[in-house]
Amino acid sequence: MKIFISAYACEPQKGSEPGIGWNVVNELARYHEVHVLTRANNLPSIQAALAGVERKPFFYGYDLPKWLSFWKKKRRGYHLYYYLWQYGAYFKYRKFVNSFGFDQVVHLTFANISMPSLFMLCRPTTVWGPIGRASIPPAVRRALPWRVKIKESLRSLSMKTLTFFDLGRILTPRCADWIIESGAEIGKSCFPQRWQKKVLFHPQTGINTAEPEYRIVRQRNADGKVRLLICSEFLHWKGVTFAAEVFGRIASQRADVELHIYGSGPEKQAMKKIFHRYGVEARVEWKGFVGKQEMLQALFDADILLYPSYHHGLATVILQAMYAKLPIVTIAGDPVARCVAEGGGGVVDGATMAEILDNLTAETMHLIESPELRQTCGQTGRKLIEEKYEWSILCRRLSELLEEISAR
């Protein structure tokens, strides 16, 4: 088939959304003629990575005018930039998409359920997704600090405002011929009943273990220490303060436990206060953000990954940890938990935040005290990666799904 893909985030050697975009379009190019629209800022690294590749996608770039993007630095303003990019990209490329003989138009990365995708208004068969939504567990929501509750309330309000009042967002699910969901359990869609007949299911995140970085990592030699790991941007909804609390409780009881932390963000001071309260600062190593190779090695060096996020898509680091045979401890309620629940670690729940923290601590302690369980979880996680979450496998299934859509 001839497929046009809108992939705002698409870059080589990146994780998260840019990595999803890059791997999906390149894998699909093995089966179809793929044309990709991404940010013009991404094109230099893309062209360098594709040098010498025979069967590759065709890439096009678009960026907003400079006067519309002066505020976009780091995380500040990127949601607004992405929102405006959707409109600008559509009006610039709609004639091309409608007249170039495409069989399908697919909206791929940053498929936020509250954001519009104007390309769903195009003439070819349109596919919105993979897309998903993760809600906050009630016990967690009740126990959030007021500053976080306010942020979450504003986030929820902005999402509802876009969903019900933005014309582009109103038209997106109405005009999309098909919707692919990623975050929901199979058969449990977050879309209204009237659109259920055009909803299909497919995971959004995978990893490519054929990349050289995965081949040169080594397993850490036993040194009598149990190493816990936090690997995340320090945002409250990623559960970093919960993970800090769990380590503080355990480290105050056991002298053989240490913590390595990779990342940075606004919750760092809150985490430091927790470590100070338990008197365990000396056993915490702050590593900051590091390259992909060093991050993979950190996963192989650790014994348990703490990732108690409470509304999150399936993070790439979860799959990388499973490949590294590293058990994961998380909270029930989002795609991370559903993936881990397949056997790659421990998933806990609770009626209150205190109960959730108690259960997180107990589950982590159980894994610390049982090397055999850690080994079992690690082997199960590796098997899941090899059978289900390799990009080559995921994208072959996605290709089959798109062919099925075309046949219908």
Which CATH fold topology does 2-132+166-206+390-407 show? Answer: Rossmann fold (3.40.50)
pLDDT of the residue at 262: 95
CATH 3.40.50.2000 fits 212-388, yes or no: yes
Q: 345: phi > 0 → left, psi -120 to 50 → alpha, else beta; which?
A: left
Distances (CA, A) of 226 to 29, 258, 367, 378, 404: 43, 6, 10, 15, 48
- pTM summary value: 0.87
- Alpha-carbon distance 394 to 322, whole Å? 16
* Domain residue ranges in the chain: 2-132+166-206+390-407, 212-388
Do residues 224 and 254 touch, judged by C-beta distance below 8 A? no
Look at residue 392 in the predicted model and tell me its pLDDT: 92
Nearest to 330 by CA among 301, 302, 359: 359
Helix (H, G, I), strand (E, B) or coil at 26: helix
Cα(337)–Cα(309) distance, rounded to whole angstroms? 9
Per-residue pLDDT for the chain (408 aa), expressed as one digit of tens each? 999 999 999 998 777 788 889 999 999 999 999 999 999 999 999 999 998 888 899 999 999 988 776 666 655 677 788 889 999 999 999 999 999 999 999 998 776 788 889 999 999 999 998 887 667 777 787 877 778 888 878 877 887 888 888 898 889 989 999 998 876 444 566 777 788 888 888 888 898 888 888 888 888 777 888 999 999 999 888 999 999 999 999 999 999 999 999 999 999 999 999 999 999 999 999 999 988 889 999 999 999 999 999 887 788 899 999 999 999 999 987 788 888 999 999 999 988 889 999 999 999 999 999 999 999 999 999 999 999 999 999 999 999 999 999 988
DSSP 116-167: --GGGGSSSEEEEEEEB--PPPHHHHHHS-HHHHHHHHHHHHHHHHHHHH-H
* pLDDT value, residue 279: 94
Asked whether 131 and 110 are in contact (CB, 8 A), the reply is no
Spatial separation of the C-alpha atoms in residues 127 and 401, rounded to whole Å = 11
Residue recorded with tokens 């009042």: 165
The reported pLDDT for the residue numbered 366 is 96
Q: Would 2-132+166-206+390-407 and 212-388 be classified into the same CATH topology?
A: yes
**Which pLDDT score is estimated for 76?**
61
Residue 202 confidence (pLDDT) = 86
Q: Which residues contact 330 (CB under 8 A, 6 or more apart)?
A: 239, 307, 308, 309, 336, 337, 340, 345, 346, 347, 348
C-alpha 318/C-alpha 337 separation (Å) is 10
What would the two tokens of residue 239 be? 């559960």
162-167: Cβ within 8 A, 24+ apart: 162/83, 162/114, 162/115, 162/116, 163/113, 163/114, 166/116
